[in-house]
Amino acid sequence: MGALGKTSAFRDGSASGGHTSADPSVRVEVAELSDLRVRVRGYVVVVTGAYHERGTSNRKPYEYHDRLTDVWVKVGNTWQVIASHYSIPVKQ
């Protein structure tokens, strides 16, 4: 799930524990955002943060952490994501 999906899922409440992805072999047990920063400049919003997900895929456990950036622009009365990026931090 990319950053767009992550922030959208949290906005609509669908990223709760036990969430099942579109892939029936994947079961998401933890999906959480942290360290969120929102910067507003007129009709542009930049959201940055961290994402953590844990679950099972084909009954094997997985876990990952990444960083995200979403850029939103207000078009008329709605906000649209125009850019979304996520990356996995390097382990030290």
- Within a domain: 92: no
- Within a domain: 51: yes
Answer with the residue of higher pLDDT: 30 or 5.
Answer: 30
Work out the average pLDDT over 33-56: 96
Asked whether the predicted pLDDT for residue 49 surpasses 90, the reply is yes
Separation of alpha carbons 32 and 11, rounded Å: 12
- Within a domain: 28: yes
- Within a domain: 16: yes
Separation of alpha carbons 61 and 81, rounded Å: 31
At residue 10, the pLDDT reads 47
**What secondary structure letter does DSSP report for 10?**
H
- Structurally, how many domains does the chain consist of? 1
Please work out, in degrees rounded to the nearest 5, the angle formed at the alpha carbon of residue 76 by the alpha carbons of 69 and 6. 25
- Within a domain: 43: yes
pLDDT digits (tens, 9 = 90+) for 26-42: 999 999 999 999 999 99
Residue 80: pLDDT band with limits 50, 70, 90: very high
Residues 66, 21, 14, 82: is their CA dihedral positive or negative? positive
- Within a domain: 82: yes
Look up the domain containing 18 and give its range: 3-87
What whole-number percentage of the chain has pLDDT above 90?
65
CATH code of the domain containing 44: 3.10.450.50
